[in-house]
């Protein structure tokens, strides 16, 4: 199973040693994502290219799969999968599908995140933070404006996340059905 970027880095593993996304890990990732979102700067209107560079260089969109799993795990569909095949198999199937869908959704997620940053930072600020990270004179602004960027990202990306979650659940259900279906109680 390949969740390496988000799950393995955060030490999230299943009982079988495969990467796992726990509810606690998902909640932490969501909080971190929102904490990185930032209050609006009135004069911001940064260059989209500089924002994309920042997002890509620092992998700021890496929490997408964790957030998608957290959203999936709160659905009735996921609860029904757990009832049918047990929590470990349901989770593994959903995580597997999220991994497979990542290449389809990550570019749009990152583009939405970059767009959100352009509304809160000037081009110079984006370039400085991208180049110098925590050593940037604008690093404090990155932290201060985190909630506003997160709120913008939520507004713009909620439909994308919902689409990814829906597709992953449908595909996971089909995968589990193909693998031998439902565990009888």
3-state helix/strand/coil string of 145-172: CHHHHHHHHHHHHHHHHHHHHHHHHHHH
Q: What number is the average pLDDT over the span 165-176?
A: 98
**In this structure, what token pair is assigned to residue 1?**
């199973």
The pTM for the full model equals: 0.74
pLDDT in the model for residue 63: 96
pLDDT in the model for residue 30: 43
Residue 109 has pLDDT above 90, yes or no: yes
Q: What number is the average pLDDT over the span 17-45?
A: 44
Exposed, middle or buried, 120 (CB in 10 Å: 0-12/13-18/19+)?
buried
pLDDT in the model for residue 45: 74
pLDDT in the model for residue 182: 57
pLDDT in the model for residue 29: 44
Exposed, middle or buried, 4 (CB in 10 Å: 0-12/13-18/19+)?
exposed
pLDDT in the model for residue 178: 92
DSSP reduced 3-state for 7: helix
Answer for the pair 122, 46: CB distance below 8 angstroms, yes or no. Answer: yes
116: how many CB neighbours lie within 10 A of its CB? 25
Higher pLDDT, 67 or 5: 67
- The residue ranges of every structural domain in the chain are 60-117+146-180
Q: What number is the average pLDDT over the span 144-169?
A: 97
């Amino acid at each position: 199973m390949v969740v390496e970027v988000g799950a393995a880095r955060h030490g999230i593993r299943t009982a079988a040693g495969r990467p796992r996304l726990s509810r606690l890990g998902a909640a932490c990732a969501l909080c971190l994502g929102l904490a990185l979102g930032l209050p609006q700067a009135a004069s911001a209107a940064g260059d989209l290219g500089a924002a994309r560079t920042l997002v890509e260089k620092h992998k700021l969109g890496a929490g997408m799969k964790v957030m998608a799993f957290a959203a999936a795990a709160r659905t009735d569909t996921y609860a029904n999968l757990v009832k049918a095949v047990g929590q470990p198999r349901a989770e593994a199937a959903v995580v597997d599908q999220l991994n497979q869908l990542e290449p389809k959704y990550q570019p749009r997620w990152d583009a939405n995140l970059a767009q959100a940053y352009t509304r809160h930072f000037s081009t110079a600020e984006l370039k400085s933070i991208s180049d110098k990270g925590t050593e940037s004179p604008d690093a404090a602004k990155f932290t201060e404006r985190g909630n506003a960027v997160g709120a913008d990202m939520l507004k713009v990306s909620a439909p994308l996340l919902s689409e990814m979650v829906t597709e992953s659940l449908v595909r996971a259900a089909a995968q589990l059905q193909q693998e031998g279906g439902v565990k009888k109680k």
